[in-house]
Amino acid sequence: MTDKNDYPTLANADLIDAERSLFCDARPVPYEPYPVDFVEKFANWVRANSLWVLAFGTGCGAIELNPLMTSRFDANRYGIQMRPTPRQSCVIVVAGYSSVKTLKRIIRSYEQMQGPKFVLGLGICSLNGGMYWDSYNTIKRIDQYIPIDLYVTGCMPRPEALLAGFIELKDKIKAGQCDGTNRYVKDFDWYKANQKKVIKNWDMPDYNW
């Protein structure tokens, strides 16, 4: 197992002295699989069949999330349940158009989730900005700021497409292919550099667990 002391601390230099002590300065630590292979496979099976979802509706994509939980589509039968806070969730759905202002909240929410955690980009806007691609305020590639495990593209994708995306995400989790948590840790400095290029008034800790 990796010792947390092996990782350097964060200066959180963007915070004023009065606030710096309020936040942890420890860098994120990678998720380490169970040492026994079949135990890790069982854990992935459990994770895949109990997806607690934080719906981060940044734009029109969010309108497709509500029908998913109704009796017509009944996402609950797949173990999918909406949760109100990042700390209760293992999946964040970034739904729709993202601006510089909302990106800051997306990052904060993602970092507050416990690992292993997964990200689903809903709608073409999360991939290339969609119809807003040429706006100065549009975030075109969410995966440059947080790791994305799966995209469900369209403008907007219907609830059936979103449900199919969740099923594919479940299959990837069972296969151990959703390693976004560790990618974020491994490339932490790269992600932070990208985030700070577009968010000028950072004024928050570099890691908000």
Q: What is the pLDDT of residues 129-166, one digit of tens each?
A: 888 888 888 888 899 999 999 998 888 888 888 899 99
Indicate if the pLDDT at residue 4 is higher than 60: no
Looking up residue 138, the CATH number of its domain turns out to be 3.40.50.12280
Q: Is residue 17 part of a domain?
A: no
pLDDT of res. 106: 92
pLDDT band at 5 (very low <50, low <70, confident <90, very high): low
Q: Is residue 1 part of a domain?
A: no
Q: Is residue 70 part of a domain?
A: yes
Q: Is residue 14 part of a domain?
A: no
Q: Is residue 37 part of a domain?
A: no
Q: Is residue 148 part of a domain?
A: yes
Residue with tokens 């963007």: 14
* Encoded tokens for 19: 């606030």
Number of domains in the chain: 1
Mean pLDDT computed over 73-89: 88
pLDDT of res. 140: 87
pLDDT tens digit string along 177-203? 999 999 999 999 999 999 999 998 887
Q: Is residue 11 part of a domain?
A: no
Sign of CA dihedral 169, 62, 152, 119: negative
Contacts 24+ apart (CB under 8 A), 81-85: 81/50, 81/51, 81/52, 81/53, 82/52, 82/53, 82/54, 82/55, 83/52, 83/53, 83/54, 85/54, 85/112
Residue 126 near residue 145, CB atoms below 8 Å: no
**CA of residue 83 relative to chain centroid, distance:** 14
Q: Is residue 30 part of a domain?
A: no
Domain enclosing residue 72, as ranges: 50-198
